Each structure stands twice: as C-alpha cells, then as structure tokens.
Amino acid sequence: MSRIGKLPITIPEGVEVNIDGNVITVKGKNGELTRELSPVIDVKIEDNQMTFERHDESKTSRSIHGTTRANVNNMVEGVTVGFEKILEFNGVGYRAQKQGNKLIVNVGLSHPVEFEEVEGLTVEVPSNTVVSIKGANKESVGALAANIRSTRPPEPYKGKGIRYRGEVVRRKEGKTGK
C-alpha cells in the first residue's frame, strides 16, 4: 500500500470539501479550488478526516494513489495557508518592476520581458531584485515562478540570473591563466 496514499487528511475548521462524482471542490478563506480525480480512487469523508482508497491493485491505481492524496492535500493547504515562491535577481542591471497587472523583467536581454498576472495569483515586487508570487494553487504558483526563472536561469560561473530564494547554485571554476 502507498505510504502517502494511506495517510488521512485532516480537514481544518473553515474549510468545506464537496465531492461530486470524480470532481472535488475545496473552499476556504483563500478561495476555491476544483480538480477532477481519477475514477480508480475513492475519497471518503468521516469526522473531518479524508481517506483515499483504490479499487484494485493494478499498477495504474497504485501509482495514482499517493499522487491523488498529495494533490488534494495541497488543495486543502492552499485554501487555508496558501503558497509562496520568492525569486531573487542577481546580476548588474537585473531588475523587475510591476506596471498594472504586468510584471516587467530586465535581465540583460535586448528587450524587457513582460509577464501577465495569472488569475488567482498575486505578484508583488518588494524591491527591484525580489519578486514574490502568492496563491492558493501550488501548481500555478510554481509554473509562473518557473516561467519567470526560465528567462535567465542562474549560470555557474558568476552566479548571475534569476534563482529561487534559498536555491544553491554550484559554482564552477573559470579558465586557468598561464
């Protein structure tokens, strides 16, 4: 049995979970998230505890068991606490600014790169070298952060680029002179 899949999820106070066939909806103070689940997994709610059981022992149902539980747990955590990714800009002239609902990033390219703000996410620029992305959906927070980071990922020689806060970039030694 899946070690993660068999763990129950405790539903916190103020969170409402509705199951309609294969569609699960989680409502909380940070919003509402909906996801379609696999039909091979059954979700049961008893006494503010959500449990996940699979129909059979096929490879497909075993592989999706823990994934389904983790996705629903992220939904519950997202509507109660929320998720945040912080990006740091390292390099001369590397900066970000917000204009309306657009994030404008200057990272040494011939043009500034613009990113539209995604619905359900908030993008903040506390300083011109730090960008904070917050939201209830962990998947979309991570996707937007990865999309912004992909414009200039950190390089190993000088460490310039966009990195996640706390990310360690392995540095390489440059060419050796004679």
Total count of domains within the chain? 2
Mean pLDDT computed over 9-15: 93
Residue 43 structure tokens: 């979700």
Task: Give the contacts of 70 (CB within 8 A, at least 6 positions apart).
Answer: 4
pLDDT per residue over 41-77, tens digit each? 999 999 999 999 988 888 988 889 999 999 999 999 9
Residues 46 and 99 in one domain: no
Residues 158 and 90 in one domain: yes
Residue 155, judged by CB atoms within 10 A of its CB (0-12, 13-18, 19+), counts as middle
Task: Give the confidence band of 152 by pLDDT, cuts at 50, 70, 90.
Answer: very high
Given a contact cutoff of 8 angstroms between Cβ atoms, the answer to whether 103 and 115 are in contact is yes
Residues 95 and 63 in one domain: no
Mean pLDDT computed over 111-135: 94
Residues 37 and 55 in one domain: yes
Whether residue 176 lies inside any domain: the answer is no
Whether residue 76 lies inside any domain: the answer is yes
Q: How many CA atoms lie within 13 A of 159 on its CB side?
A: 9
Residues 49 and 22 in one domain: yes
